[in-house]
Amino acid sequence: MNTPAQESNTRKRCFDPVVDEHTRLLVLGSLPGEQSLAKAEYYGNRQNRFWFLMSEVIDLDLVSMTYAMRLQTLLDHGVGLWDVVAEAHRPGSLDSRIQNHDDNDLLGLFAGLPQLVTIAFNGGTAARLGLKVLGEQASRYRIVRLPSSSPAYTLSYTEKSSQWRLLKQALHPAD
């Protein structure tokens, strides 16, 4: 087990993006937490509500699927995942502890996503850092700031869900 000093000196890296040429909606988090990193899975903390919230957005039960099926199902529905922070020092999992971060090349990724229309930020830190990276290019996309799916953000599930369900419009604009 790492001591607190060792843990704070360890740089944590995000996962590869989960996108394809059909991605219309990209959900950007800040940086995976400890449990997600340990499992090598986006939103791997069982207390994180991400998979429940996205189940409501796409009207399919992602929670009961294997991780690989969850990712494929998101892609099949035009949804991609990535993080704003490429790498950072962060003791623990709280976004407020992110230090000395390097940003992902969001604009480079977006250039390869011809159908991308909506960028959704999962939480305030992701939005604050991501919008800084996007700069003036943010105006090219529909930007949605979502309450964090993290258990550290104590807004009720019902309140989170009502805001996350707005992403349905990004996937089905005519509905």
> In sequence order, which ranges of the chain are alpha helices (DSSP H)?
4-9, 34-39, 50-58, 67-76, 106-111, 124-134, 157-164, 168-171
Catalytic-role residue among 48, 100, 104, 122: 48
Is 48 a residue of the active site?
yes
Closest of 91, 151, 145 to residue 123, by C-alpha: 145
The strand order across the sheet containing 85-89 reads 11-13, 85-89, 99-103
Say how far apart CA 76 and CA 112 lie, in whole Å: 17
Catalytic positions are 48
